[in-house]
Amino acid sequence: MHPNAILDHAAQLLTRVLTFSHPADAVVGRYFRDNRTLGPRERNTIAETVYAVIRFKARFELLARSGPGGRERKLAILGFSAPRDFLLGALKPDEKTWLETCEREGEAVMMDIHRHNLPQWMVPALKSQLGTGFDTLADTLNTPAPLDIRVNTFKSKREEIQKALKGLGIKAQETPYSPWGLRLEGNPSLAKVKAYEQGAFEVQDEGSQLLAGILGAKRGEMVADFCAGAGGKTLAIGAMMRSTGRLYAFDTSAHRLDALKPRLARSGLSNVQTAAIAHERDDRIKRLAQKMDRVLVDAPCSGTGTIRRNPDLKWRLKEKELAEITALQSTILRSAAQLVKPGGRLVYATCSLLPHENEAIANAFTEGSEDFELMPVAPLLQTVLTPQGGAAEDGDALALELCQGNFLRLWPHLHQTDGFFAAVWQRRM
**Which amino acids are annotated catalytic?**
351
**DSSP state string for 273-320:** EEEE-SSTT-HHHHHTTT-EEEEEEE-----GGGTTT-TTHHHH--TT
Q: Do 413 and 126 contact (CB within 8 A), yes or no?
A: no
Buried b (16+ CB within 10 A) or exposed e, 146-174: bbbbbbbbbbbebeebbebbeeeebebee
- Neighbouring residues of 271: CB distance < 8 A, sequence distance ≥ 6: 238, 241, 243, 244, 245, 246, 247
Q: Do 205 and 121 contact (CB within 8 A), yes or no?
A: no
Buried b (16+ CB within 10 A) or exposed e, 207-226: bbbbbbbbbbbeeebbbbbb
103 vs 362: CA distance, rounded Å: 46
Dihedral sign of CA atoms 347, 348, 351, 354 in order: negative
Cα angle value 126/26/175 (rounded, 5°): 55
* Chain-centroid distance, C-alpha 34: 28
In 3-state terms the chain splits into helix, strand, coil percentages (rounded to 5) of 50, 15, 35
- Helix-helix angle 3-17:40-55, to 10 degrees: 50
Of 230, 237, 239, which Cα lies nearest the Cα of 274? 230
352 vs 299: CA distance, rounded Å: 10
Of 225, 239, 319, which Cα lies nearest the Cα of 275? 225
Element (H, E) at 194: helix 194-197
Strands 403-404 and 222-225: unpaired
**DSSP state string for 74-134:** HHHHHH--S-HHHHHTT--HHHHHHHHHHHHHGGGG--HHHHH-S-GGGHHHHHHHHGGGH
CA distance from start to end of the chain: 69
